[in-house]
Amino acid sequence: MNNFIEIEDISEHNNKEKHLIFGYTPMCGTCKISERMLDIANEILQLPIKKIDLNYHPDFSEKNKIMSVPVLIVMNKDQETDRIYAFQSVPYLLENLK
């Protein structure tokens, strides 16, 4: 029996002009609400998105100086262009992710 957990490739969409990285932790209630808002907004925007449980990515959290969850990092290829901690509402996300 292998207890190895497959760690997903965060850089999966780094070849894309605009893509999102959503960082969360499973025990975070705000993360669940924020993820739902993000899913609704992204039904319209159709941006590539990578959702990562930050418990499994301490190096990523440290390297990117992630202060809290949930966090949405807006990327242009491999460069961060924006970061959202307070998701507020679906219209707010749509406005900020256009």
pTM of full prediction above 0.75: yes
What is the per-residue pLDDT across 56-91, written as a single tens digit (0 to 9) for each? 999 999 999 999 999 999 999 999 999 999 999 999
Mean pLDDT of 48-59: 94
* pLDDT of 3 above 80: no
Angle between helices 90-97 and 29-45 (to 10 degrees): 50
pLDDT level of residue 2 (50, 70, 90 thresholds)? very low
Residue 7, pLDDT score: 61
Task: Say whether pLDDT at 4 is over 80.
Answer: no
Which pLDDT score is estimated for 12?
83
pLDDT confidence of residue 11: 81
Per-residue buried b or exposed e for 18-57, using 16+ beta carbons within 10 Å of the residue's own CB: ebbbbbbeeeeeebeebbebbeebbeeeebbbbebebeeb
The SS3 assignment for 84 reads strand
Distance of alpha carbon 28 from alpha carbon 32, whole angstroms: 7
How far is Cα 5 from Cα 80, in angstroms, rounded to an integer?
27
Which CATH architecture group holds 19-97? 3-Layer(aba) Sandwich (3.40)
Query: Domain spans of the chain?
Result: 19-97
